[in-house]
């Protein structure tokens, strides 16, 4: 076919136009694909979830740990658990960093640098037990609170060896228990049904952050404020010398003089019910507390009108020399308001060891230090804790500790106390070892008392060269003459709680056993077909075992008539408060160091909180270095002028100031070290808030790493100062 030039150009034009137009058309079908899983969510390996029990504090939260290829990756709460309702606090989450800490101890160390193995260590411990049993009262065990079967094993062994138990904790729970013992005859921790209350007066308890059971209380607080079954939002009023996280969530915060919280409660109790006679006139109490008479009267009127009022005391109230009185007064107010006092307790499970603790098993801090001064203790085992960090320098723990012939420290890491030991035994975290916990309290469906049994299982293989404390003790007992019927290891002891294998397996699957507890999650379990979340084969668990409360051994303390808090020295009252680092044991976890303090947003350091008026008087601005001087030393730190602090107080967080706790912790200063040993009336424990300090400006500028400047942005009417 012949094509002319003209035809060629015509066809080219037509074809080009057609192609161009076709390109402009909208394609009729395009796909939008929902991928099965997003690539960024994919993790190599298969995830398995193991139920266990958090042992970071005494609350008893159930946890579920995600393990991939034998490594623990993430810790979460068990959604159906009656204590924590699926939640978990930062401390529990950070337990992974304790497990995989680069500075963990992995071999038995002996003073003098001799290499030594577990065989030698266990033999030495066995012979020390035998020697102690031959000379009763010559052995001292320093530990934190004992719980569950492992606690019962320890207490039983201590009983057999005639060892004294010194429970050393900051801020500790002894004052709360002593107050409960004097009021209701039971040395248990007070339980506050926050979820049921409609009007709460809080006396400085930081129950949302550092309370006895912060995760449970935070859940309860959510119910209190916006629970579905409520007709209106609950009201929270706080009295405290320093505003803490819970106080900052309250509807009104009223500053009181340090140590006078009990007076506020006493006045309210007398105004609500005049049959509670107040020994001093109201004006005098106003002077003691710094709270105006009107405030008391208005609050009492609100409390009278409230349907379910509640008063809450916390460890901070018990940290004064009059701590027991303070808490007893607050609980008396509670009794006036609602007529009953509830309590909960992590019990000891003593069925296996069959032990009945004798009355002189415990020693208070005051008795322990007196014993150490007299050189009564030949052997000291530090099972848990860091007494050299916690005790004031004035007590001179180094000298007292070195008087003992045998000094054994059980620890995950090198800390201040391990430096003084003859033997340092590397221990395991709760993610690698067996254990359990029994929480008895009003955790039932209708808030009736129920027992919650948590079973703690190893979710990963333990670090080479480490052993769990109860297993070390049981092995040592095996080498001595004391092991009749205590069992070989804790796993065997725990398993013997269960009569049949299926109950044991269900408890492992579910993280324990508790009374039938009905929430919507139960329905979810029935429907769940996810292969990684197999539903428990039975919903109703076996009844949890029963236990005993070892704290019943506390001597009944009479509550003094006078509620005057004693402070030694001159100047401002030093309040060492709990922040993210707990009692300092969390200072070597970077996650906890970089977690902002909830109120000041400070990270990685300590600070000195001064009230605005004091800061103005001294001419101190944020970040200026100030020096606190007590009779026993000085502390220097960057100032944080705080509008929500009583002018009679200065506050410093506890946790920093380690000199031998690894690369993350060796920073800042420790307010506990400059305290005077002031003793609490009735319990013989240290009154952590009992020292006055002089405040001076050093003239230097320090570094205070904060994230914002929020105090200034608060509405002025919220701050009565």
Partner 1 sequence: MSFEQRLLKFFRTLILVGAIVTGVVLWIVQWSMTRPQTQPIAFSHQVHVGQRQISCFYCHTGAMKGDIAGVIAVQDCMQCHQTVAADHPEIQKISERWFKTKQPIVWAKVYKMPKHVHFSHRVHIAFLSRNNPDALADPGKTICIKCHGDVPNMKVIGAPVSLPMVLTGNMNPNTGMGFCVDCHRANGGPMDCTACHR
**Contacting positions for partner 1 (CB under 8 A):** 23-38, 41, 524, 527-531
Measured from the CB atom, the residue of 30 and 307 that comes closer to partner 1 is 30
Contacts 24+ apart (CB under 8 A), 279-288: 279/561, 288/257, 288/260, 288/263
Helix (H) or strand (E) holding 373: helix 365-373
Are residues 159 and 355 in contact, defined by beta-carbon separation less than 8 angstroms? yes
Closest approach of Cβ 530 to partner 1, in Å? 7
Closer by beta carbon to partner 1, 1 or else 25: 25
Kindly tell me which of 536 and 590 has the beta carbon lying closer to partner 1.
536
Q: How far from 340 is each of 123, 192, 193, 217, CA to CA, in Å?
A: 52, 11, 11, 19
55, 430 contact by CB (below 8 A): yes
Q: Are 199 and 234 in contact (CB under 8 A)?
A: yes
What is the closest distance, in whole angstroms, from the C-beta atom of residue 79 to partner 1 in the complex? 11
Bridge partners (DSSP) of residue 48 are 67
CB of 47 vs partner 1, minimal distance in Å: 13
Shortest Cβ distance from residue 249 to partner 1 (Å)? 23
CB of 527 to partner 1, least distance (A): 6
- Which C-beta is closer to partner 1: that of 523 or that of 663? 523
Least distance from C-beta 535 to partner 1, angstroms?
12
Scored b (16 or more CB within 10 A) or e, 145-163 reads bbbbbbbbbbbbbbbbbbb
Residue 676 CB-density burial (10 A; 0-12 exposed, 13-18 middle, 19+ buried): buried
CB of 538 to partner 1, least distance (A): 21
Rank residues 16 and 720 by Cβ distance to partner 1 and give the closer one.
Answer: 16
Distance (Å, rounded) from C-alpha 453 to C-alpha 507? 9
Q: What's the min distance (Å) between Cβ of 30 and partner 1? A: 4
Q: What's the min distance (Å) between Cβ of 21 and partner 1?
A: 12
Tell me the three state secondary structure of residue 625.
strand
How far is the CA of 26 from the CAs of 4, 16, 23, 29, in angstroms? 35, 18, 8, 9
Q: How far is the CB of 36 from partner 1 (least distance, A)?
A: 5
Return the sign of the alpha-carbon dihedral for residues 388, 392, 394, 395: negative
Query: What's the min distance (Å) between Cβ of 540 and partner 1?
Result: 21
Strand 572-578, strand 512-514: pairing: unpaired
3-class SS of residue 406: strand
Q: Minimum distance between the CB of residue 532 and partner 1, rounded to whole angstroms?
A: 11
Pick 8 or 524: Cβ nearer partner 1 = 524
The answer to whether the beta carbons of residues 47 and 66 sit under 8 Å apart is yes
Whole-number minimum distance, CB 33 to partner 1, in Å? 5
Q: How far is CA 349 from CA 43, 322, 507, in A?
A: 40, 33, 16
Q: C-beta of 701: minimal distance to partner 1 in Å? A: 37
Instruction: Please identify, using beta-carbon distances, which residue of 1 and 33 lies nearer to partner 1.
Output: 33
Residue number, 28 or 102, with CB nearest to partner 1: 28
Return the number of the residue (524 or 718) whose C-beta is nearest partner 1: 524
Instruction: Identify the CA nearest to 67 among candidates 52, 50, 53.
Output: 50
Distance CA 53, CA 150 (A): 13
What does the alpha-carbon distance between residue 369 and residue 679 come to, in Å, rounded to a whole number?
Answer: 12
Judged by beta carbon, residue 102 or residue 526, the one nearer partner 1 is 526
Q: How far apart are CA 293 and CA 91, in angstroms?
A: 41
Looking at the Cβ atoms of 113 and 531, the one nearer to partner 1 is 531
Identify which of residues 528 and 558 has a Cβ nearer to partner 1 in the complex: 528
Nearer to partner 1, 3 or 523 (CB): 523
CB of 69 to partner 1, least distance (A): 21
Cβ-based nearer residue to partner 1, 370 or 523? 523
Q: Which is nearer to partner 1, 30 or 499 (CB)?
A: 30
C-beta of 24 vs 359, nearer to partner 1: 24
List, as one string, the DSSP characters of 239-281.
EESB--HHHHTSSEEEE--TT-HHHHHHHHHHHH-TTS--SS-
Q: Which residues, in sequence order, are bridge partners of residue 50?
A: 65
Phi-psi label, residue 113: left if phi above 0, alpha if psi -120 to 50, beta otherwise: left
Q: For residues 23 and 44, which CB has a smaller minimum distance to partner 1 in the complex? A: 23
* Min dist. Cβ of residue 76 to partner 1 (A): 15
Which residue matches tokens 């079908």? 29
Q: What does the alpha-carbon distance between residue 525 and residue 531 come to, in Å, rounded to a whole number?
A: 12
Query: Minimal distance in Å, beta carbon 225 to partner 1?
Result: 21
**How many other C-beta atoms are found inside a 10 Å radius of the C-beta of residue 700?**
12
Q: Residue 3 corresponds to which tokens in the numbers above?
A: 């094509």
Q: What is the dihedral of CA 503, 506, 511, 513, to 10 degrees?
A: -50
What is the three-class DSSP state of 167? strand
Residue with tokens 């300090």: 693
CA atoms of 51 and 509, how far apart (whole Å): 6
């Amino acid at each position: 076919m012949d094509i002319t030039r003209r035809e060629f150009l015509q066809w080219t034009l037509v074809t080009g136009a057609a192609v161009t137009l076709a390109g402009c058309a909208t394609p009729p079908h395009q796909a939008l694909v929902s991928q099965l899983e997003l690539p960024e969510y994919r993790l190599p390996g298969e995830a398995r979830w193991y139920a266990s029990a958090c042992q970071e504090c005494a609350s008893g939260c159930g946890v579920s740990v995600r393990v991939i290829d034998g490594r623990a990756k993430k810790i979460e709460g068990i959604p159906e658990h009656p204590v924590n309702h699926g939640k978990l606090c930062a401390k529990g989450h950070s337990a992974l960093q304790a497990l995989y800490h680069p500075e963990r101890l992995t071999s038995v160390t002996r003073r003098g640098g001799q290499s030594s193995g577990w065989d030698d260590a266990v033999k030495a411990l066995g012979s020390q037990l035998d020697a102690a049993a031959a000379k009763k009262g010559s052995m001292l065990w320093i530990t934190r609170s004992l719980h569950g079967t492992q606690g019962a094993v320890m207490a039983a062994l201590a009983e057999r060896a005639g060892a004294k138990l010194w429970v050393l904790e900051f801020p500790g729970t002894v004052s709360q228990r002593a107050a409960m013992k004097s009021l209701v005859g039971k040395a248990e921790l007070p339980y506050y049904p926050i979820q049921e209350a409609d009007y709460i007066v809080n006396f400085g308890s930081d129950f949302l952050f550092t309370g006895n059971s912060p995760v449970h209380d935070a859940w309860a607080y959510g119910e209190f404020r916006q629970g579905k079954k409520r007709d209106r939002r609950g009201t929270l009023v706080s009295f405290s010398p320093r505003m803490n996280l819970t106080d900052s969530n309250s509807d009104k915060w009223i500053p009181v003089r340090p140590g006078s919280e009990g007076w506020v409660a006493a006045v309210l109790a007398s105004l609500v019910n005049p049959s509670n006679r107040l020994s001093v006139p109201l004006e005098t109490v106003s002077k003691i507390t710094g709270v105006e008479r009107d405030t008391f009267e208005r609050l009492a009127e609100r409390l009278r009108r409230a349907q379910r009022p509640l008063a809450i005391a916390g460890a901070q109230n018990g940290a004064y020399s009059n701590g027991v009185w303070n808490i007893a007064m607050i609980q008396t107010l509670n009794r006036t308001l609602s007529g009953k006092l509830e309590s909960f307790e992590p019990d000891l499970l003593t069925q296996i060891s069959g032990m009945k603790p004798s009355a002189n098993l415990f020693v208070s801090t005051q008795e322990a230090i007196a014993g150490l001064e007299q050189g009564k203790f030949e052997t000291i085992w530090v099972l848990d804790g860091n007494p050299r960090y916690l005790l004031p320098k004035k007590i001179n723990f180094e000298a007292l500790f070195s008087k003992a012939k045998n000094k054994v420290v059980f620890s995950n890491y090198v800390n201040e106390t391990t430096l003084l030991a003859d033997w340092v035994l590397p221990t395991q975290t709760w993610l690698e070892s067996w254990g359990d916990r029994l929480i008895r309290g009003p955790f039932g469906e209708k808030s009736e008392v129920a027992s919650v049994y948590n079973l703690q299982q190893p979710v990963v293989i333990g670090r080479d060269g480490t052993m769990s404390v109860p297993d070390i003790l049981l092995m040592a007992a095996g080498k001595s003459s004391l092991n009749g019927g205590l069992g070989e290891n804790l796993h065997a002891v725990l398993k013997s709680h269960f009569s049949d294998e299926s109950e044991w397996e269900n408890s492992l699957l579910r993280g324990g056993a508790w009374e039938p507890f009905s929430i919507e999650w139960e329905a979810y379990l029935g429907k769940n077909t996810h292969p990684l979340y197999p539903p428990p084969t039975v919903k109703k668990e076996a009844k949890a075992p029963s236990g005993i409360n070892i704290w019943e051994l506390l001597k009944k303390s009479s509550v003094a008539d006078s509620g005057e808090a004693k402070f030694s020295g001159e100047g401002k009252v030093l309040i060492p408060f709990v922040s993210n680092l707990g009692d300092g044991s969390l200072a070597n976890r970077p996650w906890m160091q970089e977690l902002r303090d909830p109120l000041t947003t400070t990270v990685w350091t300590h600070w000195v909180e001064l009230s605005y008026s004091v800061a103005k008087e001294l001419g101190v601005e944020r970040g200026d270095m100030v020096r606190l001087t007590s009779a026993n030393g000085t502390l220097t730190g960057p100032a944080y002028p705080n509008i929500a602090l009583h002018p009679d107080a200065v506050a410093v967080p506890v946790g920093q100031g380690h000199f031998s706790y690894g690369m993350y912790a060796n920073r800042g200063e420790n307010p506990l070290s400059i305290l005077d040993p002031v003793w609490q009336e009735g319990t013989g424990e240290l009154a952590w808030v009992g020292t006055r300090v002089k405040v001076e400006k050093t003239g230097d500028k320090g570094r205070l790493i904060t994230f914002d400047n929020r105090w200034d942005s608060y509405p002025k009417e919220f701050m009565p100062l």
